[in-house]
């Protein structure tokens, strides 16, 4: 049994993660919020024994094995470092930090301390993306040449706080959504991006220089080019993830979502057919892998290093959108 503290009385904890921890044999024993009353109300609503506004109390508690960090993005770095220093395993929300060096430090400190450190990139746990990865590995579309990610949605009103008006909290669509595109592409393709180019927009929702839409291209090591579109302001459009190969293509529809849904069509010279997809709650898959990593030393579904790659790509996209330049994605091997 892994005993968890939640750092952040957040929507994602509320909507997905508490249930995922409980469904996979973990126990949620504490919640930390910057506001003591909110912590108390959250704990009471979700039947969590202990509520506090003091993270140190929780980190000093030897009965807590792991910490799930889902505060706003600027807080991930100091909170993760404190948790790692206290010897806790850490599952941290994306983006890991606002600066690449900070994220790299988080991963290095976790390695040094010998604790498990994971990034909560949920999409690589989707049955649809796993099916596409396998189809490529099985040679069903030949050599992947290009990809398209359609990840443009309407940001629900209850999530429109810091994402659209707090640059210092790491708001904006790039660190919120494009980092997931980078991680999912890396997972499905099994290679890393090397360069990006992007144009951002503020189409009426985000303010203070934050983007609520971005389109761009990532180029990968093999030369593959991947087009991506992320937005907070697009209503009713389906999401999608498509890979075009030398001998066929994979068309995933409704697959860039938190829900275990969506279809994948394979088209090649032999046929057009729907691939079998094993749908399972993405967050339960993530937490189960994390529990296994704590118990047996296996790897979490997305490691800290994966989080470093997605952040590096997101920061490069932001720089390209800001400067108009093509920007390299540089991450040390690991
Ligand atoms: P929320 O805005 O719901 O929560 C973030 C923080 O906001 C909380 O930690 C909380 O601070 C504070 N907060 C919550 N409610 C209130 C309130 N009523 N008044 C004042 N402050 C409040 O954000 P999300 O849950 O959407 O996102 C949290 C993190 O999770 C982000 O890093 C985001 O990128 C990530 N995320 C990841 C997803 C994934 O699928 N991997 C999906 C959604 C988000 P405090 O704890 O101090 O009370």
What are the backbone dihedrals phi and psi of residue 92, each rounded to the nearest 5 degrees, phi first?
A: -115, 140
SS3 content of the chain, % helix, strand, coil (to 5): 40, 25, 35
Instruction: Tell me the two tokens of residue 83.
Output: 């948790």
What percent of the chain clears pLDDT 90, i.e. is strictly above it?
A: 98
Where residue 58 falls among pLDDT bands split at 50, 70, 90? very high
Mean pLDDT, to the nearest integer, of 126-139?
98
pLDDT one-digit tens code per residue, 65-118:
999 999 999 999 999 999 999 999 999 999 999 999 999 999 999 999 999 999
Rounded to the nearest integer, the mean pLDDT of the chain is 97
The answer to whether the CB of 131 falls within 8 A of the CB of 232 is: no
DSSP per position, 280-311: --HHHHHHHHHHHHHHH----SSBHHHHHHHH
The answer on pLDDT for 285 being more than 80 is: yes
Mean pLDDT, to the nearest integer, of 30-44?
98
Among protein residues, the one with the nearest Cα to ligand 1's atom 38 is: 12
DSSP letter, residue 91: E
- Beta-strand pair 144-152/272-274: unpaired
Q: How far is the CA of 198 from the centre of ligand 1 (A)?
A: 27
Mean pLDDT, to the nearest integer, of 138-156?
97
Among protein residues, the one with the nearest Cα to ligand 1's atom 47 is: 34
Q: Is the CB of 208 under 6 A from ligand 1?
A: no
Q: How far is the CA of 7 from the centre of ligand 1 (A)?
A: 10
Domains and their CATH numbers in the chain: 3-122+284-302 (3.40.50.720), 123-279+312-328 (3.30.360.10)
Partners of residue 248 on adjacent β-strands: 268
Going by C-beta distance under 8 Å and a sequence separation of 6 or more, which residues neighbour residue 9? 31, 32, 33, 35, 38, 39, 42
Mean pLDDT, to the nearest integer, of 111-131?
98
Where residue 333 falls among pLDDT bands split at 50, 70, 90? low
Could you give the dihedral angle defined by the CA atoms of residues 163, 166, 170 and 172, in that order, rounded to the nearest 10 degrees? 40
The answer on pLDDT for 330 being more than 60 is: yes
Q: How far is the CA of 73 from the centre of ligand 1 (A)?
A: 9
Burial group, residue 35, by CB count within 10 angstroms (0-12, 13-18, 19+): exposed
Q: Is the CB of 11 under 6 A from ligand 1?
A: yes
Q: Which residue has the tokens 């750092």?
A: 7
Instruction: Tell me the two tokens of residue 52.
Output: 């506090």
Q: Which residue has the tokens 């030897």?
A: 62
d(CA 215, CA 233): 13
The answer on pLDDT for 193 being more than 80 is: yes
pTM higher than the cut 0.95: yes
Residue 180 CA: which ligand 1 atom is closest? 41
The answer to whether the CB of 96 falls within 8 A of the CB of 311 is: yes
Q: Is the CB of 10 under 6 A from ligand 1?
A: yes
Q: Is the CB of 34 under 6 A from ligand 1?
A: yes
What are the backbone dihedrals phi and psi of residue 316, each rounded to the nearest 5 degrees, phi first?
A: -65, -40
Q: How far is the CA of 38 from the centre of ligand 1 (A)?
A: 13
* 3-state class (DSSP) for residue 176: helix
Q: Which of 20, 36, 68, 72 to mutate to test the pocket of ligand 1 (most atoms within 8 A of CB)?
A: 72
Q: Is the CB of 74 under 6 A from ligand 1?
A: no
Q: Which residue has the tokens 């301390």?
A: 113
Q: Is the CB of 33 under 6 A from ligand 1?
A: yes
DSSP letter, residue 219: E
């Amino acid at each position: 049994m892994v005993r968890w503290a939640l750092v952040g009385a957040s929507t994602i904890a509320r909507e997905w993660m508490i249930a995922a921890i409980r469904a996979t044999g973990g126990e949620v024993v504490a919640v930390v919020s910057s506001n003591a009353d909110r912590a108390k109300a959250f704990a009471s609503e979700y039947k969590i024994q202990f509520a506090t506004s003091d993270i140190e109390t929780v980190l000093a508690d030897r009965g807590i094995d792991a910490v799930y960090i889902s505060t706003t993005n600027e807080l991930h770095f100091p909170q993760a470092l404190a948790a790692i220093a206290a010897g806790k395993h850490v599952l941290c929300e994306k983006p890991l930090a606002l600066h690449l060096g900070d994220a790299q430090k988080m991963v290095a400190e976790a390695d040094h301390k010998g604790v498990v450190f994971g990034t909560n990139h949920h999409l690589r746990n989707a049955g649809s993306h796993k099916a596409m990865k396998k189809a490529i590995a099985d040679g069903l579309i030949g050599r992947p040449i290009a990809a398209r990610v359609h990840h443009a949605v309407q940001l629900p009103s209850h999530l429109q706080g810091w994402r659209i008006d707090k640059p210092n909290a790491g708001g904006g669509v790039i660190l919120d959504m494009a980092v997931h595109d980078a991680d999912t592409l890396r997972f499905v393709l099994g290679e890393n991006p090397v360069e990006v180019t992007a144009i951002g927009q503020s189409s009426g929702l985000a303010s203070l220089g934050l983007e609520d839409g971005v389109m761009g291209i990532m180029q990968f090591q093999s030369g593959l080019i991947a087009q991506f579109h992320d937005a907070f302001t697009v209503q009713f459009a389906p999401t999608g993830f498509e890979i075009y190969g030398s001998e066929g293509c994979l068309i995933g529809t409704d697959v860039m979502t938190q829900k275990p849904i969506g279809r994948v069509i394979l088209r090649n010279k032999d046929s057009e057919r729907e691939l079998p997809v094993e749908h399972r709650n993405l967050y339960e898959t993530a937490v189960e892998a994390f529990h296994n990593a704590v118990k047996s030393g296996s790897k979490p579904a997305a490691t800290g290093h994966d989080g470093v790659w997605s952040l590096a790509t997101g920061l490069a996209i932001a720089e390209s959108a800001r400067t108009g330049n093509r920007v390299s994605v540089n991450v040390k091997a690991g």
